[in-house]
Amino acid sequence: MAVLLEKGRYQARLAQTACDVAEAQKLRTLAFATEDLDGDAFDEHCSHVLIEDMSTNGELVCCFRMLTMQGGDEVGRSYSAQFYDLSALRGFTGPMVEMGRFCIHPDRHDPDILRVAWGAMTAYVDQNGVEMLFGCSSFAGTETVEYLDAFAMLKDKHLAPKRWLPRVKAPDVFRFATRLRRRPNAKLAMLRMPPLLRTYLMMGGWVSDHAVVDRQMNTLHVFTGLEISAIPAARKRLLRAVAG
């Protein structure tokens, strides 16, 4: 069954069949509130992780997909490359995984679901020698005003190293690193920060200097990268404790 992790009532496993992928697409459609089934051409090239609640007959409560690359020379085939100029990342020499379409069932609020998801990702990273995770971290909606403190904090503390910095490619972007002149309210910033992005940042992740306005998905998103070697030792121990 390709089980990655079992913790408490939850099980994380890799999708094995087309039916598994279809269930993930249904959950994504529900979570992202799209009119049409949330599926694209990238699905067939990705590994899909399913987090199921075994206390409710294996109900799917969370999912995400992973596109594995052997190095930065393959980054052009990623989903993110549609929206960002990732030419700087072509120089990255280690294995990479693009993590995408992460969602939790909108009726589920158990923080253990996110912990199990990251535990499953940690197990996959360790098993496959992955050296960088990346993807698009999304803010709900396309209006920037309620997220200004969050963007100001990203500007102040979490911009990508210059050697990896993505450049603008999408036609509609919010250049928060050059436009914002405010000092962030830390409490408001963290309240407005998406949970997935918050977790990336706690592990030493970084973001692009601009957000893409994606009207098709009704989101603002920033490119997010995480070098595995940069994760603090204490955080690695916590993740591996969950993954173990």
CA atoms in the 13 A half-sphere facing the CB of 26: 10
User: Do residues 204 and 231 touch, judged by C-beta distance below 8 A?
Assistant: yes
In angstroms, the first-to-last Cα distance of the chain is 18
CA distance 23 to 30: 11
* pLDDT score, position 1: 55
User: Do residues 137 and 197 touch, judged by C-beta distance below 8 A?
Assistant: yes
Q: Which fold has domain 3-243?
A: Aminopeptidase (3.40.630)
Query: pTM of this prediction?
Result: 0.93
* 74's tokens: 């393959």
Cβ atoms within 10 Å of 191's Cβ, excluding its own: 12
* pLDDT score, position 135: 97
* pLDDT score, position 238: 83
How far from the centroid of its chain's Cα atoms is residue 143's Cα?
Answer: 20
* pLDDT score, position 235: 86
CA distance 118 to 240: 10
CA distance 152 to 190: 11
Give Cα separations from 158 to 11, 127, 189, 230 (angstroms). Answer: 32, 28, 13, 13
How far from the centroid of its chain's Cα atoms is residue 172's Cα?
Answer: 21
What is the number of residues in the chain?
A: 244
- Residue 168 CB-density burial (10 A; 0-12 exposed, 13-18 middle, 19+ buried): middle
How far from the centroid of its chain's Cα atoms is residue 93's Cα?
Answer: 21
User: Which residue's entry shows tokens 């993505």?
Assistant: 166
Task: Return the percentage of the chain with pLDDT > 90, whole number.
Answer: 84
Residue pLDDT, tens place only, 82-131: 999 999 999 999 999 999 999 999 999 999 999 999 999 998 998 899 99
In the chain, which residues have pLDDT < 50?
A: none
Best CA proximity match to 23, nearest among 58, 60, 53, 55: 60
Average pLDDT, the chain: 94
3-class SS of residue 70: coil
